[in-house]
Amino acid sequence: MTSVLSGYGKFFFLYGYGGTGKTFLWRTLSAALRSQGKIVINVASSGIASLLLPNGKTAHSTFCIPLEINDKSTCNIKQDCFRAQLLRATSLFIWDEAPMMNRYCFEAFDRTMRDLMGKVDKQNRKKPFGGKVVVLGGDFRQILPVIRKGSRGDLTDKSQSELKEFADWILKIGDGLIDGDENGEAEINIPEELCILQPDTPLLALVDFV
């Protein structure tokens, strides 16, 4: 709140287990700032999660993030369009379920906001997210196992040992216990069954899988 009211942009990450009150905090922040006439944009990484937020939408819809994204991507927002004016006028961005997104999505949004806010002040091009206050939130443990074309029976009948193995793996990632170095960085091998194996056409591979 201090960062928003002072106009000094900052970048925050709220990490919390499911049920600890992240959504309550998003609603409280939104109500407090909107009561002062400020604009708050609430987005989430999935449509279901966005329904829990006040006036929430998906990040892809709000920020026009490309579906096929890489390390050079930017959001499809023109400088003088209404969406660009809205983003410039926004006091706080709240992005829930952030760990579910590819890092390139955040980098594309950062790159776009620096460009949009650079029109207001050139110094904003050097600030994270163009000098805006951005809060990411989520829990790295809330990633469920995926069973290809699985029925309800497949999900409930899956062996306890496999479920426990997957749960333990997710918990270790969430607690930072997977062979991290002194900088807190670690290499994590993603099981093949969780990966898209056609890197040249990832979107088509996703469509075929669904």
Query: Would residue 44 count as lying in a domain?
Result: yes
- pTM: predicted TM-score of the whole model, two decimal places: 0.69
CB 59 within 8 A of CB 105: yes
What mean pLDDT is reported for the chain? 87
Looking at the fold, whether 102 and 166 belong to one and the same domain comes out as: no
Looking at the fold, whether 106 and 84 belong to one and the same domain comes out as: yes
148-185 pLDDT, tens per residue? 777 766 666 666 677 788 888 888 887 777 777 777 78
State percent of the chain over pLDDT 90: 50
Domain holding 193, by residue range, is: 152-209
Q: What is the DSSP string of 149-195?
A: T--HHHHHSS-HHHHHHHHHHHHHHHHT-SS--TTS-------GGGS
Quickly state the pLDDT bin for 65 (edges 50, 70, 90).
Answer: very high
pLDDT (mean) for 18-26? 88
Look at residues 76, 107, 138 and tell me which one is the last residue of a structural domain: 138
